[in-house]
Amino acid sequence: MQSATTTDRDSLTSRILPQMTLSKGDETSSTGPPALPSDNLSAEKSAAKRFEVEGNAIITGGGGALGFAALKALLEHGLSGVMIFDVNLTQAQPKIDKLQKEFPACQIHSKRVDITDDLAVAKAVEETGNLLGSVDHLLCFAGVVGCQHALDMTAAEWRRVLDINTTGGFLCAQAVAKQMVQQGHGGSIIFVASISGHRVNWPQPQVAYNVSKSALLTLKSCLAAEWARYGIRVNSLSPGYMDTILNEGEGIAEARKIWADRNPLGRMGTPNELTGTVVLLSSMQATYINGTDIVVDGGQILF
């Protein structure tokens, strides 16, 4: 009788690797060049169309400061409808209602979704597609921060951070990609990584967070290569320290000063300073941007 180890080794030598398929890139594919703009457009209309955002989006963590600012910017640039996935919508609902009044022609919906639950995510994406008519964009803002010394970190805390930040991002991307493939016209997926995925930040210890964000950068690259054939572009943006409620309070005042002192611009960023990158990556101008990470940090990682 063969041992399990021998059997496993035999199966390795006889396996057949699946292989990626790349697009042909011609007019019969999902990745052909976009149509040339009309010569009849005025300069103003041509400029507006260059950064036009078409279709509908899902934004995870859309009730938070960064996700909400991105959502509003996309609506300003033409987004037709949006579904916000969040685990806590109570505090965000008043500003969501206000946004709906500001954009009455747009469909703005919200749904409580645990992005670490693959079945719940798949169901929510399907329901969103049925409600809005399509899902053309995914923006993954949902995430958690964990600042803890590595020697003191429990396995449960390590898994929680990676489960939400990395696995949750993958599950949402996978479900949306399946929806896009079914629709047949591709779309855009944007992960929100971090400068923490590029280097070790100072002075806070946050090994799980840093690892979860660096994993997102590799995830972005892998999916960009694998899903390009379907016309799905996968990119990411890496914010630096942003001036939101997560970075407020006297308890981190010293850290805030250190972050500002080590930044060439001498300050933290604001949520609106991320919106230009989000609009660019979601717009008609980004049809040849795939697998890219854009750092928006005021130069923080230069040192």
**Interval 212-242: pLDDT, tens:** 999 999 999 999 999 999 999 999 999 999 9
Hunting for tokens 């040849």 — which residue is that? 288
pLDDT over threshold 70, residue 6: no
Cα dist. 248→41, 67, 241, 243, 255 in Å?
47, 18, 11, 8, 10
Average pLDDT, whole number, for the chain?
92
Q: Return the bridge partners of 140, or none.
A: 60, 191
DSSP labels for 82-149?
EEEEES--TTTHHHHHHHHHHSTTSEEEEEE--TT-HHHHHHHHHHHHHHHS---EEEE-------B-
Under DSSP, is residue 192 helix (H, G, I), strand (E, B) or coil? strand
What is the spatial distance between Cα 159 and Cα 172, in angstroms, rounded to a whole number? Answer: 18
The question of whether 282 is a catalytic residue gets the answer no
Structure tokens at 77: 């640039």
Most confident of 88-97, 171-180, 260-269: 171-180
Let me know if 213 is a catalytic residue: yes
Contact between residue 57 and residue 180 where contact means Cβ atoms under 8 Å apart: no
The domains of the chain are located at 50-302
Of the residues 110, 212, 213, 241, only one is catalytic, namely 213
Torsion of CA 239, 90, 139, 44, to 10 degrees: -90
| Per annotation, catalytic residue among 209, 212, 230, 236 | 209
Active-site residue (options: 80, 188, 194, 212): 194
Instruction: Say whether 189 sits in a helix, a strand or coil.
Output: strand
- Residue 1 is predicted with a pLDDT of 47
What interhelical angle do 168-183 and 118-132 show, nearest 10?
A: 40
pTM equals 0.92
CATH of 50-302, one of 3.10.310.70, 3.40.630.10, 3.40.50.720, 3.90.1300.10: 3.40.50.720
Other beta carbons less than 10 A from residue 237's beta carbon: 23
What is the tens place of the pLDDT at every residue in 152-190?
A: 999 999 999 999 999 999 999 999 999 999 999 999 999
If you search the block for the tokens 């400029």, which residue do you land on?
A: 47
Residue 114 is encoded by which pair of tokens?
A: 């645990």
Sign of CA dihedral 90, 101, 74, 66: negative
